[in-house]
Structure 1
Amino acid sequence: MKIFSEVCKRRSVTKAAEALGITQPAVSLCVKDLERYYDVRLFDRISHRLYLTAEGEKLLVYAHKIIAMFDEAESEVKNWHRLESLRVGSSVTIGTRLMPGYVKKFSAAYPGVHISVTVDNSFEIEKKIINNELDFAMIEGTVHSVGITAKKFKKDTLVLVCGPESAWACKTELRPEDLGEMPFLLREKGSGARELFDSTLFTHGITVKPEWESISTEAIISAVESGAGCSVLPLGLVERELRQRRLLQIPINGICFERYFYIIRHRDKHLSKAGISFFKENGLAPV
């Protein structure tokens, strides 16, 4: 239709070919194909000039509409960053430490993309991925669903901490068996931190019944600082308190709480251009 419209505009096959940057035979063939398809004559050829027939005039009206709609579709699809939205999930640790910076960087590059973030424990985030409530997510710890594709992107360390007035504050190192005697304040079951803590102690034959369980890392930090007990928390979330001596770190002989952060998505879900751009802007490889 663009070729037909250009021929109508130029009243010449040769000039239309020059304007479109294609050969004259290609333009002539296109016009002939249209005439054959609609079984009408679109042009009268008089004195080496082209004049639209009545049928040609009718087709030109539709050609203009088709070209306008095509150009609009091209513009809208290619300018996806003005239209698209992104649903991102995050576990609590990543949501606290990393996600705000990731979102800020992406939004600065693509202000037209609406991005929503859901922060929850890793178990709940996995469920939302499976139910197609999120486009992708970042979690810590083991991925449990076979329907999820996962890729490591960062290593993380958890540390044992207590308050400065705690009875354990004077300890320079603990034996693994000491952990069974300590009052622990822990994240809820389903969180990546809790899963790592439980599985690590299980491999050492140690059982702990927590004094507190909370979905809020901030609440646990505050309680530990006040002397209510000890906890194992991500180093990145307690660095400030450790520097200020509001919390103290106690090494454990033979035990190290380490894990990876993962980027996850449903294995059958296509990663959109907005999703790919999110990872690119933040120097991450998409899953």
Structure 2
Amino acid sequence: MTIRHLRIFMAVCEHGGNVTKAAASLHMSQPAVSLAIRELETYYGVQLFERNGRHLKIAEAGRRLAVYAVSITGTFDDMEETMRSWETSGPLHVGASITIGSQFLPSYVSAFSARYPDSQVKAMVAPGALLEEKVLMNELDFALVEGAVHDSAFVSKRYMQDRLAMVLRPSARHLNRSVITLEEFRAMPFLLREKGSGTREVFDNAVEKAGFSVEPVWEAYSTTALLKAAEQGLGAAVLPYRMVVPALQSGRVIELVPEELDFTRSFHIIYQKHKHLTAAARDFIQLCIDYEMDYPLIHHSALE
């Protein structure tokens, strides 16, 4: 018994037992329709129709089968539509680190949803270590993280160049200055992201290479909180450049670049090595890659 048998059976029912009309509606021959009905009756060992020449009258067993046939064929059609469109309309589970999630992910999802209105994006914004776990557990299709992941279980693709900016409230002391010495830098009260974050890792690595370390006066998960603290004159916040552009343009903060320190970094897309990415997932990734072309990073470094 196949879906084809049920569709033929339903066509005969819909045409009041008229095999000729049922065959015409299915673009089949009358003998082929009659054969399919007999095969169904043989399969179940029941009489589905009472015969009167070319016309059939549905029997009690036929009425019972019709109830199931409507449900089964409807469910089958739903399955066909869902699975055939899965590559472009299935749900997409995306992870992003806190910086990327707060600064870029909303733009990515908005642009993607305009292109794939039937595909639901389920997002998770969390520290990079947790995102790696979720990708390995297949709870996320892929994740956008700060820095490369050196684990053979992942594919890690660079998709955007980024840099950190040290910003603080404008003051007469720093008027008309853009570069400071390492001694001045070390004396700053720092407002930093928490240990373990991608932003903090870039900062710590840079100062470690210069041969020293710093103890921040503030540590926070929230980049917004750190920027607000810098605007209030509580210290120097070291944050992703693209995030602080509006505050720089409005004059609420200024950027100072320390000599001999390199705060550049890359964002990466990670997913399982053997993960099948749907067409929608591949397009989302390409959208992220294209974003840097539309919003290029403005470099400002004492090393240049």
- How far off its partner does 1:177 sit? 7.5
Task: Find 2:36's aligned residue among 30, 33, 37.
Answer: 30
Task: Find 1:208's aligned residue among 209, 213, 235.
Answer: 213
Contact 2:108–2:288 (CA<8 Å) still a contact in 1?
A: no
Matched position secondary structure for 1:206: coil
Contact 2:154–2:272 (CA<8 Å) still a contact in 1?
A: yes
Matched position secondary structure for 1:161: strand
Residues 277, 45 of structure 1: alpha-carbon distance in 2 compared, 3 angstrom cutoff = farther
Which residue number corresponds to residue 279 of structure 1? 284
Counterpart-to-counterpart distance in 1, 2:183 and 2:33: 85
Which residue number corresponds to residue 165 of structure 1? 171
Contact 2:97–2:144 (CA<8 Å) still a contact in 1?
A: yes
Gaps of 5+ in 2: 1-5, 290-304
Residues 180, 149 of structure 1: alpha-carbon distance in 2 compared, 3 angstrom cutoff = same
Counterpart-to-counterpart distance in 1, 2:78 and 2:163: 46
Which deviates more, 190-199 or 102-111?
Answer: 102-111
- How far off its partner does 1:152 sit? 3.7
Contact 1:86–1:113 (CA<8 Å) still a contact in 2?
A: yes
Task: Find 2:67's aligned residue among 64, 70, 89.
Answer: 64
Which residue number corresponds to residue 20 of structure 1? 26
Contact 1:179–1:208 (CA<8 Å) still a contact in 2?
A: no
What does 1:89-168 align with in structure 2 at a 5 Å threshold? 89-104=95-110, 117-131=123-137, 134=140, 136-143=142-149, 146-165=152-171
- How far off its partner does 1:196 sit? 1.9
- How far off its partner does 1:221 sit? 1.8
Residues 228, 37 of structure 1: alpha-carbon distance in 2 compared, 3 angstrom cutoff = same
Counterpart-to-counterpart distance in 2, 1:261 and 1:24: 65
Question: How many aligned residue pairs are there?
Answer: 278
Identity of aligned residues (%): 36
Which deviates more, 240-249 or 205-214?
Answer: 205-214
Gaps of 5+ in 1: none
Counterpart-to-counterpart distance in 2, 1:20 and 1:42: 19
Which residue number corresponds to residue 14 of structure 2? 9
Which residue number corresponds to residue 292 of structure 2? none
TM-score norm. by structure 1 comes to 0.73
Q: Does 1:231 align with 2:237?
A: yes
Residues 23, 184 of structure 1: alpha-carbon distance in 2 compared, 3 angstrom cutoff = farther
Task: Find 1:51's aligned residue among 43, 51, 56.
Answer: 56
Counterpart-to-counterpart distance in 1, 2:94 and 2:149: 17
Which residue number corresponds to residue 74 of structure 1? 77
Q: Does 1:190 align with 2:193?
A: no
Residues 156, 23 of structure 1: alpha-carbon distance in 2 compared, 3 angstrom cutoff = farther
TM-score norm. by structure 2 comes to 0.69
Q: Does 1:247 align with 2:253?
A: yes
- How far off its partner does 1:279 sit? 2.9
Which residue number corresponds to residue 262 of structure 1? 268
Which deviates more, 105-114 or 158-167?
Answer: 105-114
Counterpart-to-counterpart distance in 2, 1:189 and 1:169: 32
Residues 190, 23 of structure 1: alpha-carbon distance in 2 compared, 3 angstrom cutoff = farther
Q: Deviations over 1:231-269 (max 9, x none)?
A: 331111111221122222223456543333334445577
Which deviates more, 140-149 or 232-241?
Answer: 140-149
Contact 1:162–1:169 (CA<8 Å) still a contact in 2?
A: no
Residues 151, 36 of structure 1: alpha-carbon distance in 2 compared, 3 angstrom cutoff = farther
CA RMSD in angstroms comes to: 4.1
- How far off its partner does 1:19 sit? 0.7
Counterpart-to-counterpart distance in 1, 2:34 and 2:149: 61
Residues 228, 169 of structure 1: alpha-carbon distance in 2 compared, 3 angstrom cutoff = farther
Counterpart-to-counterpart distance in 2, 1:50 and 1:37: 22
